[in-house]
Amino acid sequence: MSAERRRTKRSPRFTEIAIEAGVSPSTVDRVLNERGSVSDALRRKVVEAAKRLGTNRLMPDVRHGVLHFDVVLVHSATAHFQRINNALDRYVGLIGSRVTVHRSAWGERDDERLAHFLEHPPYPRHGLLIVARDSDRIRQALQVVNAAGTPVVTLSSDITGIHRLAYAGIDNTLAGRTAGYLAGRFTRSAGKVWIAVNSLDFRSHVERVDGFNQIMAEQFPHLDPLPPVEVHDDVDRAYAQLHDALRQRHDIVAIYNTGAASAGIRRALRRHPLAVAPVWIGHEATRESSELLRSGDMAATLDQDPEGQVLSGLQHLLHANDELDHAPEGLTRFRLITPENLGQFELFA
């Protein structure tokens, strides 16, 4: 035997790896030599134990079979969810056959059926990317998902009090503060601010309103925000609500819309023109918003980059399943768009 061979470190035997991993030597044999069926959990234990002991051999993949990711969305025809679905089509095609992404959309208030789906997946679930109401029943269901060891990433709107892996979205409080700053700086006279939201059941809209009201109180006390009105992204409801408000009062000097249904707001403003048009701050870079910006109806819009949110969410799930070396860092950045820089942005919906 040569001196070089005598100096070579002995690789741990299967019995040593078995003791380290807390399994039988036959399980180690099945994993390292890829013989027979072994669960992903046992496979991971054996491979990690072999690595800790310095085993000098090529390690098998810690997972066999296909990974199943669930993407749970709100059933909505708004541009935001169109963009999320388009981004999913784009990015899922790049992941490859190793991951199957199951997409489903649920009614905004269909908590019980959604909770049952979350608690009883029809296949082994390896990751969950979800947009849902911040409700007790959804939180309860997500606790069950967490207890099963499934990584959860909230998308666009966070959910309170759950042990999620990550939140893929913007800082909605900061977005609200930014909208409030713009409204305060652009508005020349004292008065009321009319606020429209999709639904206060979603944490994103609550945070936007909170941030807006914070900066109003701190820097612009001459502006008085009215209680937010839920329009559920419905054009006719937005029109009716603002129509009533403008009929009753003539001191609305600014409008903040945290969601969609901008066409209804525009129709109400056309029906009840004020001496000075309210400063209107909206959300999302859509073709509708671009028209409102160009016409001068809307002063600025904040875009939350749903495409970036989807990419970040999928990357978090891939990293949690050892399919990606690094998870993304930080929140998605929102973009401020005015008529002057509108041409720099691609309008996806």
Cβ-based burial of 10 (10 A; exposed 0-12, middle 13-18, buried ≥19) = exposed
Whether residue 42 is found in the same domain as residue 156: no
User: What is the C-alpha separation between 33 and 16, in angstroms, rounded?
Assistant: 16
Whether residue 100 is found in the same domain as residue 146: yes
Query: Crossing angle of helices 79-95/306-320, nearest 10°?
Result: 40
Residue 333's SS3 state is coil
Q: What is the pLDDT of residue 36?
A: 64
For residue 211, tell me if it sits in a domain: yes
Half-sphere exposure of 192 (CA within 13 A, CB side): 13
Whether residue 45 is found in the same domain as residue 86: no
Whether residue 160 is found in the same domain as residue 180: no
Task: Return averaged pLDDT per consecutive 10 residues of the chain, 349 residues in all.
Answer: 48 90 89 74 84 86 80 96 97 89 94 97 95 97 94 98 96 98 96 98 98 98 98 98 96 97 97 92 96 97 97 96 91 97 85
Domain count, the chain: 3
Whether residue 20 is found in the same domain as residue 140: no
Whether residue 146 is found in the same domain as residue 291: no
Whether residue 296 is found in the same domain as residue 189: yes
State how far the alpha carbon of 111 is from the alpha carbons of 73, 80, 108, 130, 158, in Å: 12, 21, 8, 13, 16
Strands 300-303 and 335-337: antiparallel
Whether residue 50 is found in the same domain as residue 128: no
| Residue 27 belongs to domain with CATH number | 1.10.260.40
For residue 254, tell me if it sits in a domain: yes
Backbone angles phi, psi at 197, to 5 degrees: -130, 160
For residue 231, tell me if it sits in a domain: yes
| Residue 243 belongs to domain with CATH number | 3.40.50.2300
For residue 220, tell me if it sits in a domain: yes
Whether residue 179 is found in the same domain as residue 293: yes
Whether residue 245 is found in the same domain as residue 181: yes
Where does a domain end: 64, 86, 109? 64
Whether residue 177 is found in the same domain as residue 294: yes
Structural domain boundaries enclosing 52: 11-64
